Structure formats: structure tokens, C-alpha cells
Amino acid sequence: MVRQRGGWTIFQPERANRTFVSLPQKRDYAGTGERSRACAHFSSPWLKPGVSKMEELMTSISTGTNDGKKGTVAEVFDESLSAELFNLLWGQERTTIPTVVDYAYEEIWKRVIMIGGSEEQRLSDVTLAEQLGMSRTPVRQALERLVQEGLVRSDPRRGFWTCTFTAQDIHEIYDLRGALEVLAVRLAAPHLSQEDLKAHLEALYAVRAELDAHLVLRFLQVDIRFHMLITRASSNGRLIHSLSLLRSQLSMFQMQDTFYPRRMEIALNDHEQILLALLAGNVDEAADCLARHIRHAKEGVLADIFLEGKEGVS
């Protein structure tokens, strides 16, 4: 069966646990004559029938439900959403003319993020090179970058595999994030202008006003830009680098948990408290609010995706 979702073509064979996604696009690379025959070929754990609420939501894509809802889980298979997420996280670090390695990294990153970290899958550099229309060398370099970010692991005998994550991993990732971002906001506070803080607060209110529409992309834009503002204003290069290594892992689970509407409301309320504290010049309160915000985010991911301490939040 073939279904169209945004810019994606989804092929659904009889075996429901495998999905083949074709990404028809071409792009030139800096310094090469190669062009892409980009198509992804992976099995998606999100399309397996119902162990968790997330899996049930994702299954609704294959049955054709949620088609008419803007900002719903169907956007996960919209190429523009994954591209926008990548741009939000890494756009300011892109070179003017991306290299073939940059392109390979971006394409593989988007596929790994969509797989979701719940199931180990092999990433063949030979297959990926063929699908992306390039040699194996840039693909292997891109995969090594993903290894450094903790999204992919490398086995000398078995090649590259997507990383899987447990509840313990979530505790470690978010606890580390909490310690680093609280330090970042203390360092950043003297450098944050009233104008920037007010602009972020106005953007937050605009998203909150349309919260019932569940505009996932709008929320992600506000959320990621807010945390980027604090991180970069810290002016601590090593701190910024340490948080950047966590960025991809965090975004994988943030994107999944965003499809629980209540989580967006909680995050926006937390952001508001942090911004108001910063506007009032109360750095200690802002740091406490930020620590509480990251704790809320961790608890949400653990409850919704890993079913730890599930309280029925939807």
C-alpha cells in the first residue's frame, strides 16, 4: 500500500513492522559533482501496534486518521517538520555552502530521530551511500558525528547501529541537562536584554493562545529558541559544547512527548515563570524555575514514553 504524507511517500507492505520511506529530492554538494537519490529505508518502531499511547498515535497515520488536523502527530512524517527541527537545532552552525558530509549527516540525522531510540537498527554505510547517491567515505564521516552525539553506536565487527534508550538513560540525560542549563542561566542573566526576553515572552503568549490547535512546530520553535537564547548568552564555549552534545538526544524525546498536548501547556507555563523572573532581575528564582522545568520535562518523557510513574496525563 502507498500513502502520501506531506513530502513523504510511505510504502506499507503486509508486514506492519516495516516502513519504507522515499524522499525524492536532489541536491548539489560543495566541491563535488555528486547529486542525491535520497530515499530512506528503515523499519519504524512507531508503526507497531499498541504497547504505548505513542505507538497508538503513530499507528493512526497508517490508518488515515488525523489527516485533517494541523499540528497533529501526522506531522512526524512531514519532511518539512523534520527539516525545521534540524534547522532550529543546527541552523546557526551550518556553513554557507554545505559539504557532502554535512548533507549526509543531516539526512541520516533526520531518519535516526524519526526511528525514536526505542529499537536498535543497523545503519549500513554501503546502503546509505547508495541511497544518498554518494561514496561511502562521507557517509561514514557523518555516522561518526552521530556516534559523538550519542544517537548512533559503532561496533568494530557489526558496523553502525542506532542507539536505544532506557529510562535510566533519560534520568542521566535530563539530570545532566538540568545541571548545565542552570549554570547557563546564571551566566547568561547579565547578558540578556529586556527586549529579547520580552520578545520571547510575546512569542510564548502567541503559542499559548492557539494551544487548542496543538501546533507542534510553533511550540518547538518557541521552546528551542528559548533554550538556545540562554545557552548562547552564557558565553561559555565549553558549556555550550557540552549542551550541544546532548541536543540531538533531547530533541528525539522532546518531539515524541510534544504530541501529548498537556506537556506543551506545562512547558509554556514553566517558560513564562523563567522569563518573568529574568525580567525582574531575580536570577536565583529563574534558576530554580529552570531546574523545575527540566524536571517536569524529564518526568513527562518517563511517564509518556517509558510509562514510569504514569499518571494518565494526555
CATH code for the domain in which residue 173 is found: 1.20.120.530
Q: What is the pLDDT of residues 163-193, one digit of tens each?
A: 999 999 999 999 999 999 999 999 999 999 9
pLDDT at 310: 63
pLDDT at 311: 52
Residue 313 lies in a domain: no
Report pTM. 0.74
Domain tally, the chain: 2
Is the domain of 135 the same as that of 176? no
Residue 312 lies in a domain: no
d(Cα 198, Cα 221) in Å, to the nearest integer? 16
Assess contact for 31 and 100: CB atoms under 8 A: yes
The CATH number covering residue 145 comes to 1.10.10.10
Residue 314 lies in a domain: no
Q: What order of strands is seen across the sheet that includes strand 152-155? A: 122-123, 159-162, 152-155
Is the domain of 229 the same as that of 289? yes
Is the domain of 151 the same as that of 200? no
**Residue-range definition of the domain harbouring residue 238:** 167-304
Assess contact for 46 and 116: CB atoms under 8 A: yes
Number of residues assigned to the chain: 314
pLDDT tens string, the chain, 314 residues long: the values are: 444 434 433 333 333 333 333 333 444 444 444 433 333 333 333 333 333 333 333 332 233 333 333 333 333 445 567 778 888 888 777 666 889 999 999 999 988 888 888 789 999 999 999 999 999 999 999 999 999 999 999 998 889 999 999 999 999 999 999 999 999 999 999 999 999 999 999 999 999 999 888 888 899 999 999 999 999 999 999 999 999 989 989 988 988 888 887 999 999 999 999 999 999 999 999 999 999 999 999 999 999 989 887 654 44
The last residue of a domain, from among 162, 193, 219: 162
Assess contact for 30 and 98: CB atoms under 8 A: yes
pLDDT at 258: 85
Is the domain of 114 the same as that of 215? no
Comparing C-alpha atoms, which of 217, 210, 212, 204 is closest to residue 74? Answer: 217
Where are any strands of DSSP class E within the chain? Answer: 2-5, 8-11, 19-22, 40-42, 122-123, 152-155, 159-162
pLDDT at 82: 73
d(Cα 134, Cα 9) in Å, to the nearest integer? 22
d(Cα 71, Cα 6) in Å, to the nearest integer? 12
